């Protein structure tokens, strides 16, 4: 079997992704020859390589531009890499209806060791946490399978915890203003083991004092107190000095930066 025939059979079976090892095993050809032939198929625009050793057959609807959205293959890619994942931050927020602040790249959360970004694919942005909370993930059908993404509660927490990855707390608060209606504070404590107390304090402060979501903030406050009664004084932003004129609040957050919600 030739490499071209292997790709053709993938198309017939509806198998849109494969690895270098898949081709080598099916054809019996040497790794060097397989890689050379796959590079030729990439040059011809028949397949693309979003990650080293991982290939995607380009379907007709994407043939003109030769760019395939990551939702088309991300689930299979992460299986090939052998890592748990979920679409996070702005990519997840868009699934929940908070789409005004779209990410330039698809934001993926996974675990260490870090994945070396591919120069051949600048559509993916990798983020990392110690554990992937599989019980807090949702699925959505795509053209060729499914994608996993964070539920509204985990998305809200991630926006604050990883605010630096999306442009800062100002942008996080703007996205949160769209997302907050989807957040169920009755389930928020399920996220607590996967985040920090400081993140929860900032989430509460922004919800109450910036977004004026007093009812949701009150529910969050009760659940944080039940989880841990120990509160520490923190800064809203660790990148700015203490605001000596800021008044005390129940979240023990010093408002040392000004946050204004962008008009949506």
CA distance 173 to 156: 9
pLDDT of the chain, 264 residues: tens digit per residue: 899 999 999 988 888 999 999 999 999 999 999 999 999 999 998 999 988 899 999 988 888 877 888 999 999 999 999 999 999 999 999 999 987 777 789 999 999 988 876 666 778 999 999 999 999 999 999 887 899 999 999 999 999 999 999 999 999 999 999 999 999 999 999 999 999 999 999 999 999 999 999 999 999 999 999 998 889 999 999 999 999 988 889 999 999 999 988 876
Which domains, ranges and CATH numbers included, belong to the chain?
3-68 (1.10.10.10), 71-254 (no CATH)
Q: In what order do the strands lie in the sheet with 54-57?
A: 17-19, 54-57, 47-51
- pLDDT at residue 1, rounded to an integer: 87
C-alpha torsion angle, residues 246, 251, 253, 259 (rounded to 10): -80
- pLDDT at residue 14, rounded to an integer: 86
CA distance 70 to 91: 11
pLDDT tens digit sequence for 160-208: 999 999 999 999 999 999 999 999 999 999 999 999 999 999 999 999 9
pTM: 0.92
- pLDDT at residue 264, rounded to an integer: 60
- pLDDT at residue 119, rounded to an integer: 67
- pLDDT at residue 147, rounded to an integer: 97
DSSP 111: -
- pLDDT at residue 120, rounded to an integer: 65
The crossing angle, in degrees rounded to 10, of helices 169-179 and 152-161 is 170
| Of 19, 20, 55, the residue nearest 35 (C-alpha) | 20
């Amino acid at each position: 079997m030739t490499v071209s025939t292997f790709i053709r059979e993938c198309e017939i079976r509806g198998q849109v992704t494969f690895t270098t090892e898949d081709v080598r095993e099916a054809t019996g050809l040497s790794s060097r020859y397989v890689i050379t032939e796959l590079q030729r198929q990439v040059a011809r625009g028949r397949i693309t390589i979003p990650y080293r050793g991982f290939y995607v057959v380009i379907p007709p609807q994407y043939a003109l531009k030769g760019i395939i959205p990551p939702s088309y293959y991300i689930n299979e890619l992460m299986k090939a890499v052998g890592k748990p994942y979920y679409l996070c931050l702005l990519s997840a927020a868009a699934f929940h209806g908070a789409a005004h602040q779209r990410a330039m790249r698809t934001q993926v959360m996974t675990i260490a060791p870090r994945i070396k970004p591919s120069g051949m694919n600048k559509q993916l942005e990798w983020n990392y946490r110690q554990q992937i909370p599989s019980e807090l993930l949702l699925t959505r059908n795509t053209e060729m399978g499914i994608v996993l993404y964070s539920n509204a509660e985990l998305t809200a927490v991630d926006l604050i915890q990883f605010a630096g990855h999306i442009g800062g707390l100002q942008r996080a608060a703007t996205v949160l203003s769209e997302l907050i209606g989807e957040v169920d504070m009755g389930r928020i404590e399920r996220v607590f083991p996967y985040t920090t107390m400081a993140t929860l304090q900032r989430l509460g402060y922004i919800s109450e004092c910036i977004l004026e979501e007093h009812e949701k903030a009150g529910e969050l406050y009760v659940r944080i107190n039940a989880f841990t009664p120990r509160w520490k004084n923190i800064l809203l932003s660790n990148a700015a000095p203490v605001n000596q004129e800021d008044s005390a609040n129940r979240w023990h957050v010093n408002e040392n930066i000004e946050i204004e919600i962008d008009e949506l």
